[in-house]
Structures are given as structure tokens and as C-alpha cells.
Structure 1
Amino acid sequence: MMEVDKLKKWLDVAQQFQSEKFWNQIFNENNRPSSNNNLSLNPLSAVNEFFPKCDLYETENELIVEAEIPGLEKEHLQISVQQQILTIKGEFKALHQNRKYYMKERVSRSFKKELILPYPIFVQKIKSEIRNGVLTLTMPMNREEVEDIPITFDQSNPE
């Protein structure tokens, strides 16, 4: 009986892949799901959110980002920081003209990853390096920009 249940589940999944709606959602990037709770509606948006895989950590005076970007040329990469949001955009160009492919698993695609930085940084002093398919950004923290806002209590109006 257990095998029949597995077969039913497999058939349900197989049917989903055969539906025209499923493939339209994959190839139509403008078709974003309305809520982030249901990422299964559009697998492409889920892939974009998690790619490239990044680590963000701090040392004594710096924030460090390490991003996996295997095979990406620096000419196809753009990095920007605006109001403590680091944006990494890029494009993998894996399809080449005049090649006779026998197998094609690596796709050409664009990506955009945004990371919210926990501290302001000195944008002019960012260092970037690509080594072994990993982009490393070293960003000196600007702790002078972090200000505590004093909170005052209005004691004249007891309710």
C-alpha cells in the first residue's frame, strides 16, 4: 500500500511539470508570486533570492561578504552600495554561438542579490577580489555614522 502512495505523489509532481502554467512561470521573469510565503509558485524567484550564496560577517573593523560566483567574469559583475544596502548584480554567459552542444546544463542568466548591511561603511574604501570562484568584499565599518537617538519620557501627562 505504501508504494501506491509514493506512486500517487510522483504522478502529482510529474503532472505539475507537464502543465503549461508551470513552464510559463519559469520562463516569464515578470511573473513574481504575490507573497514570499509561497515560493513554489515560481521556482525562478526562489533561485534568484538564494543565488549567489553569500556569507556576511564582521571582523574588528570590517564587514566581509563572500559570494560564490563560479565562472563569472569581472566584466559581467556590478557591485554597488546605497544606504546600507549592498547590491551584487551579474550575468552568466554560458551559451556560445557556433558551438555544437551535446549537453547543455549551464544556463545563461542574470542575477541580483541585495544584502542589508548591519553598519554603515566607508564606500570609497571597499576592497574587492575574486579568487577560486569566490568574490570577497572587504568593507571598513563607519562607526561614527551610528548614532543613538535619545528617548525622552513625557511625564506631564499621566493617564
Structure 2
Amino acid sequence: MEMDKLKKWLDVAQQFKSDHFWNQIFEEDKNGSHNFENQASHNPLTMVKELFPKCDLYESDQELVVEAEIPGLTKEDLHITIQQQLLTIAGEFKALNQNQKYYLKERANRRFKKELTLPYPILMNKVKSEIRHGVLYIVMPYYRDDLEKIPIAFDQTNSE
């Protein structure tokens, strides 16, 4: 009797081996929305297109700092770009080994691309990044002076 339960469980577990199963869960559908229910609310400062990896973006002493959870990835697995005020973190988790017989498979192979709209222009030549304990840290010095003062011309002629 116990063997029958184990066989049923193994049949169900087999579906977790396929990339198709995981793509259905994590990839966007044709309408551009994700297949999982709990969408992140939009922060007025930061438009985030992808919910994964989880990130924090904060300001500290004339720097913007991003902390992104990327367990198991190395710098070779990541591609980071900043174009104008758009930070893009892209990469791929490779957790599926075709030569293994899995009994439990919770970690999926998946590519990701996370885009964050930054609130300030960045000093590109001073950006630094590092990975510590599965967290990617990106430190981006910025300048705000150019953003705060915009001259406005005012025509004071009377239109009588």
C-alpha cells in the first residue's frame, strides 16, 4: 500500500522536472501579466517590470543603493547595465540538471530581467557592485543639482 502512494507521488513530482512547467508559473502570458496572482504595487519612484529577483532601492549619502537577492549566482551569471536612468539586472538560474532523478524540485531554471527606474541621474564612472552572501549590492553615486533648479521664462508684457 505504501508503495502505491510513493508511485503516485513520483508521478506528480515528474512534472516538476520540465522547464515548460516552470515557465508556466514564472513567465509572462500574452497580455504581459504574470501567471501568479500577487502582483507588486507600483512605487511612484520606481517602476519595476519583474518581481524577481527581490530588490531594495534606497538612498544613502549621495548614493543610490540596490540590494538584490541572487542566491547561487556568480558574476558570470549576471549582466548589469544602466542606460539613462534605467538599471537592468539580467541573468539565469541554472538549477535543473538533466542527469538527475529528482524526488523534489523546487528550484527552477529560469532567466530573469529586472528593470528599475532610478530617481536621479547616475555618475556612471563611479558605480560599484559586489556579491556578498547571495545578495548583489550596486552602489551608484548620483547628482541631483541639475534636477532641482529649472529656470522658467515669464513674459511680463501687458496685453492691453
Change (3 A) 1:28 1:122: closer
What is the 5 A alignment of 1:60-71? 60-71=61-72
Structure 2: 5+ residue runs without aligned partners?
A: 1-20, 41-48
Q: CA deviation at 1:28?
A: 9.6
Change (3 A) 1:69 1:141: same
Change (3 A) 1:95 1:84: same
Change (3 A) 1:105 1:157: farther
Q: CA deviation at 1:27?
A: 6.7
The answer to whether the Cα contact below 8 Å between 1:26 and 1:43 also exists between their aligned partners in 2 is no
Larger RCO (CA within 8 A; separation ≥ 6):
2
Indicate the structure with greater helix content: 1
Q: CA deviation at 1:126?
A: 1.1
Letter in structure 2 aligned against 1:122 = L
User: Could you tell me the TM-score, scaled by structure 1's length?
Assistant: 0.68
- Structure 1, residues 33-84: CA drift from partner, whole Å, max 9, x if none? 26xxxx57x339x597211111111111211100111112221110000011
Structure 2 counterpart of 1:109? 110
Identity %: 59
Quote the Cα distance in structure 2 between the aligned partners of 1:29 and 1:87.
18
RMSD of aligned residue pairs (Cα, Å): 3.1
User: Could you tell me the TM-score, scaled by structure 2's length?
Assistant: 0.68
Aligned length: 131
Structure 1: 5+ residue runs without aligned partners?
A: 1-22
